[in-house]
Amino acid sequence: MSEPQAQLHHQQPHQQGCDVPVHGKLPISVVLAFRNEKAMLQECLPRLSFCSQLILIDMQSTDGSREVAQRFTHEIYDWPAEPIADPARAWAMQHVTEPWMLKVDPDEQFPEALVGEIAAALKQYPEAGGFRLPMRYYFKRKILTGTVWGSATMTTLALLHRERGRLLPWCNRVTEVLPGFATVSLPNTDENHIRHLWCDSYRDLAHKHLIRYPRKDAQRMLDEARPFRWRTLLGEAVGSFWNSYRHLDGWRLGLRGLLLSLIYGAYHFMMHWHLRRLTKQITSLGLNPPGVAISNKPSSAAPGLENHASAATPTFPWQRDAA
């Protein structure tokens, strides 16, 4: 099955009244991809009943996840199993029927307090391109208060107008608001944040950040014509570890903070290591290496995380959008 591309919708004038909730639901289409996440879906899907449309993509689950999904919607699409869900979500944009679309992962839980704030924000900012929603990362079901994943002000660009934003098919760069449209951030509190039940074990965390993500990130970097440099590999690996451990209070978490920060630094090392491998393959074929060829893809890299609601171009990957 070839990989369909997400379609970009052109701007249309805002129609008064089109964003008014109907039958107690908000005019939002959820886009969620899953593979063998039965337990997570049982916790996640009931909390999305405030949305008018559920678009679910089954990436060849075998654990009963599809049966759980069928209890909440009949709009379930099949997609080949692959390491990341981003291409599937981008493809699903064509099935969105509501004015707003919400990117959700199976390990995310939306609290009731946030639902009310979303409803109020849609009324207050009807012309916005997207909303950054409050989120907190949980490791082994406990909230993180340190490392790059532990910011108390973290937000994620998850709610987009379907004609003013889009879902992207790239690893760790999954959403964007189109130029000319505003992004509104909702403040993070103890009661209103999305509970991102991120990882339940160090093994799972290491598999994601040392095996699954780096290869996909390296391919994206190659597509963006980013050249491999040893100084970048070493600088980002060491710098990301130190930023997470020292400046973002990983040290306050003791051994846990140290291990999480080491994994984050190793993630950046592996990402650039795979970029080196791909660059060598291209050079061996007699083709231009990255940095010489002209790429038609966005130049802003993507990295690891949603951080603090800053619209400025970040210096390090940990300041950008994450999965």
- Percent of the chain past pLDDT 90, that is, above it, reads 74
Distances (CA, A) of 293 to 232, 275, 302: 19, 15, 20
**If pLDDT is split at 50, 70 and 90, which confidence band does 24 have?**
confident
In eight-state DSSP terms, residue 87 is H
CATH number for 83: 3.90.550.10
Q: Are residues 213 and 167 in the same domain?
A: no
The two three-digit tokens of residue 229, written as one number: 């440099």
Q: What are the φ/ψ torsions at residue 122 (nearest 5 degrees)?
A: -65, -35
Is 95:55 a contact under the CB 8 Å cutoff? yes
Is 219:281 a contact under the CB 8 Å cutoff? no
- For residue 164, tell me if it sits in a domain: yes
pLDDT in tens, 113-153: 999 999 999 999 999 999 999 999 999 999 999 999 999 99
What value does the mean pLDDT of the chain take? 85
pTM: 0.79
Q: Are residues 86 and 227 in the same domain?
A: no
Closest CA relative to residue 264, chosen from 210, 189, 191: 210
pLDDT greater than 70 at residue 5: no
Residue 118, CA atoms < 13 Å, CB-side half-sphere: 31
> Rounded mean pLDDT of 184-210?
95
Q: Are residues 121 and 258 in the same domain?
A: no
pLDDT greater than 80 at residue 155: yes
- For residue 276, tell me if it sits in a domain: yes
> Rounded mean pLDDT of 265-290?
88
Instruction: Determine the structural domain holding residue 159 and report its residue range.
Output: 26-198
Residue 171, CA atoms < 13 Å, CB-side half-sphere: 22
